[in-house]
Homo-oligomer: A and B are copies of this chain.
């Protein structure tokens, strides 16, 4: 890989997502126009990538192609794919990150493969027992980071504490909040409410070195009373998908012939507003916190704009040294 003079190299899976290179490559080029100090290595089928590498006249963007002869489909078993497809974009890029050739990997491909490759190839930070997926969600006034959004379906209270501490660092370093407000997703405001996991986690959070604002009930989740909202990966994934489901419900109503035509009509502007606000495009992708590196998992339906934002997010995490900051902070005993 030849990226002379570029401090940061971001690896991007050109084949990932529903649309592959025709969407990913323009997104990467747009990111490079915004981030001239970095370069991108595009991993994938060179013949499929190159037709989309169209620069503007006089432009010399720092992009290279790393040819890959394999690819991982969305339906493959992640662990098997990591072992069996060493020449796939995700595996090859992650190995290059482990070797220090690139500083981050962005993919809109299989979430499972991204998580597995991050864990198996990069490994977790020494001070982190369980890396977590963080996802930004819009609130009435701003946004919040929900974690874990699906990496760990079974959690202990100590895992949730670790997620909270990682979220706290993310909020301070990436969201630029002086003192991020950390909440625990729960089914009641009182500390006695919830299941065994949340009641025990609530106790741990109360003495932890971050601004714990208490339990956040899901009816108040989008009101913005916390910047970082912690939950187990089963509940987090359920919440994330239900938010998507609400949009699908409105879209379904708008198309349902049994709904009066004027109601269907009235739903359309609201749907457009929601689609804009809840668009994964705004945030570029989910991130895996707690690994020895930077992994951004973009939505399978990513547009070019989503890829651009994912690359910009990756550059920011690398520039700030997020993994190193997490390692230092979580290495301290609370």
* Cα–Cα distance between A256 and B140 once the two chains are bound (Å): 7
Are A219 and B244 also in contact (CB < 8 A) when A252-B140, A258-B141, A270-B269 are? yes
Contacts of A263 in B (CB 8 A): 269, 273
Check B187–A252 contact: CB distance below 8 A. Answer: no
Check B241–A187 contact: CB distance below 8 A. Answer: yes
Binding site for B on A (CB under 8 A): 139-141, 150, 153-154, 185, 187, 194-196, 198, 217-223, 234-235, 237-239, 241-246, 248-250, 252-253, 256, 258, 263, 266-267, 269-271, 273-274, 277
Main secondary structure of the interface of A (DSSP, over half): helix
Check A273–B269 contact: CB distance below 8 A. Answer: no
A-B contact pairs, 7 of them (CB 8 A): A141-B256, A218-B238, A221-B242, A263-B269, A267-B270, A267-B273, A270-B270
Check B242–A218 contact: CB distance below 8 A. Answer: yes
* Cα–Cα distance between A273 and B273 once the two chains are bound (Å): 16
* Cα–Cα distance between A262 and B238 once the two chains are bound (Å): 32
Q: Which residue of chain B lies nearest to A264 when distances are taken between CB atoms in the complex?
A: B273
9 tightest A-B contacts by CB? A270-B270, A266-B269, A140-B252, A222-B249, A218-B242, A219-B241, A219-B245, A218-B241, A153-B195
Check B270–A245 contact: CB distance below 8 A. Answer: no
